[in-house]
Amino acid sequence: MSNPSLLILAGDGIGPEVMAEVTKIIGWFGARRGVTFDVSEDLVGGCAYDKHGTPLHDDTMARAQEVDAVLLGAVGGPKYDSLDFSVKPERGLLRLRKEMDLFANLRPAQCFDALADFSSLKREVVAGLDIMIVRELTSGIYFGEPRGIFTEGNERVGINTQRYTESEIDRVARAAFELARKRGNKVCSMEKANVMESGILWREVVQRVHDTDYPDVELSHMYADAGAMQLCRWPKQFDVIVTDNLFGDLLSDAAAMLTGSLGMLPSASLGAPMANGRPKALYEPVHGSAPDIAGQGKANPIACILSFAMALRYSFDMGEDATRVEKAVEKVLADGVRTADLLGEEGAVPVSTAQMGDAVVAALDASL
């Protein structure tokens, strides 16, 4: 069999710095675990725009469709703020999600014990937290038509459309139920069925999928605004949350903050199985390109490293090795190794991005 293939799109801002640490881990798997990945690299976002005049070149798009998994760093930066909407860095990422049909975005929010005091919430509220947000990623208001800025009479009107088909809701609901069965066996679905027809349909279809094929999983429904409140009040009541594209965007940022730092959270975006049985997949940290600290070696590479761990689990059937990477991260944090975003006490000295990556590699070595 040929080696598993990876396309690395490091992107903009801190993307290349954090991805360099993932490359170390990939190298470690080749040297120490005998698993060699065929790695290719390309551009996405602002750097692709600078070179090609588009945030995602067609050749890159085609390559992303062929590989076993895409690893993405981050896109965007102030340099690109004034670009036309159609070529903004974010459009490159959205095109990847849409054309690869990555409908299930898995965003775990796990609180590492060593960081429980970093959350803005009390330790007892977040310690041991382990929830999974499943965000629909290819539809809803992000992509619905009609959309645009139009002229009506003597003023302009901005329009976006929330739109969900039954099959789009059905498939993401199934992804959530499947995941729940391997975790706490609970799903909470969030929408606004009290004000949106798309929310009424969402609730109906999720309930139907449950009753037909997943009656063993505990299902509840919540309005998304109440869900946001409950996430801050007592997040440990949740196991898997399934929600639409826009609510998922908001709720996952909120959930991220529960864990203490946005610099910690990975994500997986999964589509339908390919011919080789692996799902179409893209892995990326939840954080953005952090232009304010880019190029200074200050960024926390853990979210990107944990995204690679998710790739091991969901694309390469290497669940034990995924856990090995996660445990290595846990150990490093328990040992007190901290990048600047994780430093509370005054006078404490942060490690650099590269030192954090090296510490994880050392912990991996120790795990053998």
How many residues at the interface with ligand IPM, by CB under 6 A? 4
For residue 140, which of 110, 176, 87, 97 has the smallest C-alpha distance? 97
Residues 6+ apart with CB under 8 A from 111: 119, 126, 127, 128, 129, 130, 258, 259, 260
Any binding-site annotation on 181? no
Contacted entry of Mg ion, ligand IPM, none for residue 257, CB cut-off 5 to 8 Å set by kind:
none
The rounded distance, in Å, linking the Cα atoms of 176 and 156 is: 40
Any binding-site annotation on 85? yes
For residue 309, which of 291, 299, 300, 321 has the smallest C-alpha distance? 321
In the chain, alpha helices (H)? 15-33, 46-52, 58-66, 89-99, 123-126, 166-181, 197-213, 224-233, 245-258, 302-314, 319-334, 353-366
Any binding-site annotation on 355? no
Any binding-site annotation on 77? yes
SS3 (DSSP) at 69: strand
Which of 47, 93, 96, 217 binds ligand IPM (CB under 6 A)? It is: 93
CB of 54 to ligand IPM, least distance (A): 16
Residue 42 or 249 having the CB closest to ligand IPM: 249
Residue 94 or 125 having the CB closest to ligand IPM: 94
Q: Is 90 in the site for ligand IPM (CB under 6 A)?
A: yes
Give yes or no: 225 in active site.
yes
The rounded distance, in Å, linking the Cα atoms of 30 and 188 is: 40
The rounded distance, in Å, linking the Cα atoms of 167 and 273 is: 16
Any binding-site annotation on 12? no
Residue 94 or 196 having the CB closest to ligand IPM: 94
Which of 42, 136, 249, 326 binds Mg ion (CB under 5 A)? It is: 249
Build a one-symbol-per-residue string for 33-72: x at contacts with ligand IPM by CB under 6 A, - elsewhere.
----------------------------------------
For residue 94, which of 128, 50, 156, 141 has the smallest C-alpha distance? 141
The active-site residue, picked from 101, 130, 213, 253, is 253
The active-site residue, picked from 12, 49, 192, 244, is 192
Build a one-symbol-per-residue string for 245-284: x at contacts with ligand IPM by CB under 6 A, - elsewhere.
----x-----------------------------------
Geometric angle at alpha carbon 146, from 244 and 205, rounded to 5°: 30
- The helix-helix angle for 245-258 and 224-233 (nearest 10°) equals 10
Place of tokens 């091991």: 312
Residue 46 or 235 having the CB closest to ligand IPM: 46
CB of 64 to ligand IPM, least distance (A): 16
The active-site residue, picked from 142, 164, 283, 314, is 142
Contacted entry of Mg ion, ligand IPM, none for residue 93, CB cut-off 5 to 8 Å set by kind:
ligand IPM
The rounded distance, in Å, linking the Cα atoms of 216 and 149 is: 46
The rounded distance, in Å, linking the Cα atoms of 242 and 345 is: 37
CB of 200 to ligand IPM, least distance (A): 24
CB of 190 to ligand IPM, least distance (A): 16
The rounded distance, in Å, linking the Cα atoms of 335 and 97 is: 37
The active-site residue, picked from 225, 236, 327, 358, is 225
Residue 168 or 249 having the CB closest to ligand IPM: 249
Residue 90 or 130 having the CB closest to ligand IPM: 90
Give yes or no: 253 in active site.
yes
Give yes or no: 51 in active site.
no
Neighbour-count burial of 297, counting CB atoms closer than 10 A to its CB (0-12 exposed, 13-18 middle, 19+ buried): middle
Contacted entry of Mg ion, ligand IPM, none for residue 328, CB cut-off 5 to 8 Å set by kind:
none
In 71-165, alpha helices (H)? 89-99, 123-126
- Note the Cα 26 to chain centre separation in Å: 19
Task: Just list the catalytic residues.
Answer: 142, 192, 225, 249, 253
Given the rule CB under 6 A, which residues bind ligand IPM? 90, 93-94, 249
Given the rule CB under 5 A, which residues bind Mg ion? 249
